[in-house]
Structure 1
């Protein structure tokens, strides 16, 4: 996926949102739809699923370190994260599609990522009883992170100004649809699917050791103290932000002059963006939309 020609590739035109089976999407993630839906998962595949900007790269890198740091230490220093953990629905010419990258993988297990809402996940993942890790982030910080991401990512629609973006976020007019539907859909699936681990971004930020224990227990892995230390150092936000193999600086559809891919990684940064009025409005709407779920988030730690 990373190749010399890419540095010279023309930036693609910004896409427009459209309704795709009831979910707002852009063509870069639907153009390869049949191949995505027919993707053949293997029983030991591990799928990392998130709404965009909810800790996907964080957990992807964590799992890659857990499985491959010891046997292949040069992997993390020479292969960008999007090659180590292919993005299944990605389809942005001239780069290979996520499915093509996944199909060429020789590692076991294959680590794969998706932003698809639960109802769009290829059925082979359920048939093969694959392990799935879902990561969710509180709506306010997620909205802020998505806003800055859309400012610098040319395969996303123009974000407009912050007030209009926040309004669209509330209405679910975002790539991959409504945050509310996404986090609740996956939460409901977890209740009936024992091989689905549901992580919260805020918990990872608060206590990485504790969450690492949850992940390794779920995956059936046993780490030495030294291995734990190396994984924790590797997934430190500042270390990842500086690491060109995790910070997406090698992919040219993102304009780092506008904003870095990894910006702050903080819980509570929403307070620097929301006005008092926006916050009150958001809370009212949030209360209505989250009334009938046991899923709970923290907006500060």
Structure 2
């Protein structure tokens, strides 16, 4: 449900003008659709129910029930929203999309993109990221195509920064043919696997989902949103064809040099930093406020005692490190996954096994 979308006159009048504008900015209204997208398709009244039930099924990636839709394994409960998104979404030429395979640095990139594009709107003392999860500032598009979601989406002022986990081939023609920008981030598949497994375990009370099981499913390309290699390649290949449309980032490169990559992102989206901003340390401030350690320590991003199963903000912050796979994969497992990655990416010019 949309939370705090309506404020009483007395409440509003007690705020300063700046606070009023921030409270009423629909970009910053926390709103979640997890209740809908995690529903088994049998429990919905979707007109696509029979079609979705006929799709290939994957039940091993706990706690999800996945269906193969257009070549990728998606939550069955989100597929009706994906279909609506594909048929109905109307982009604005000023839109900026943050796209990724799940658990590839999405949260961090959302925070950076939001801060760069809206840096003249918010100061660093009362910045929205200090009280809101990055996913509340930059909403995922797929779940929004349900009750209230589209109204919320249309109410966001331009330039909108919006999130996507869909593969490029699943995007509506309205996005592909528009002038809007896309920023894609990927990472070493070994680390993506580890992070995805941890998130999945955190979303269920039953902790019996073994990493060895997740590894096999991931290698088969049947994990949530998988296969990862096709997902990455679609954006990579398109970024080579349309470099002004898609900025392709690698998580490990961003960790190694965040300042340079923030500057690169700002130039790409048409919001370059001025000499004065660089002198005043604005880039450093953005890197700092978006840093993993800073975001993780905020109350809004911590697990709440007694929180329900949709209290998931804490699952977006684990370690934020590159190379944590070494604590989970045996050398044999790492070699096997690297070999799959090399084979899948062969001839593309993209190398993720070096990470």
TM-score class normalised by the smaller sequence: 0.7 to 0.9
Structure 2 segments unaligned to the other structure (5+ residues) = 5-30, 41-62
The answer to whether the 8 Å contact 2:139/2:162 transfers is yes
Partner of 1:105: 156
1:187 matched to 2:240? The reply is no
TM alignment of 1:211-226, pairs within 5 A? 211-223=261-273, 224-225=277-278, 226=281
**Once the 2 structures are TM-superposed, how far is the Cα of residue 290 of structure 1 from its aligned partner?**
2.1
TM alignment of 1:6-45, pairs within 5 A? 14-37=63-86, 38-45=88-95
1:89 matched to 2:139? The reply is no
**Once the 2 structures are TM-superposed, how far is the Cα of residue 212 of structure 1 from its aligned partner?**
1.1
TM alignment of 1:106-121, pairs within 5 A? 106=157, 108-121=158-171
Which digits, 9 at most, give the CA deviation of each residue in 1:120-148, with x for residues without a partner? Answer: 11221122221100001111111111110
The answer to whether the 8 Å contact 1:51/1:179 transfers is yes
**Once the 2 structures are TM-superposed, how far is the Cα of residue 288 of structure 1 from its aligned partner?**
2.0
Which digits, 9 at most, give the CA deviation of each residue in 1:209-259, with x for residues without a partner? Answer: 1111211111222330332122011111100112345x37588545679x7
Partner of 2:177: 127
Which stretches of structure 1, 4 residues or more, deviate above 6 A after TM superposition?
none
Partner of 1:148: 198
TM alignment of 1:221-232, pairs within 5 A? 221-223=271-273, 224-225=277-278, 226-232=281-287
SS at match of 2:142: coil
Mapped to 2, the partners of 1:126 and 1:159 lie a distance apart of 41
Mapped to 1, the partners of 2:324 and 2:136 lie a distance apart of 30
**Once the 2 structures are TM-superposed, how far is the Cα of residue 265 of structure 1 from its aligned partner?**
0.7
SS at match of 1:89: helix
The answer to whether the 8 Å contact 2:341/2:352 transfers is no
TM-score by length of 1: 0.85
RMSD over equivalenced CA pairs, Å: 3.0
Over alpha carbons, which structure has the higher Rg? 2
Decide which of 187, 197, 203 is 2:253's aligned counterpart: 203
The answer to whether the 8 Å contact 1:152/1:255 transfers is no
TM alignment of 1:47-58, pairs within 5 A? 47-58=97-108
Partner of 1:293: 348
Distance 1:22 1:202, change over 3 A: same
The answer to whether the 8 Å contact 1:44/1:110 transfers is yes
SS at match of 1:296: coil
Structure 1 segments unaligned to the other structure (5+ residues) = none
Distance 1:256 1:131, change over 3 A: closer
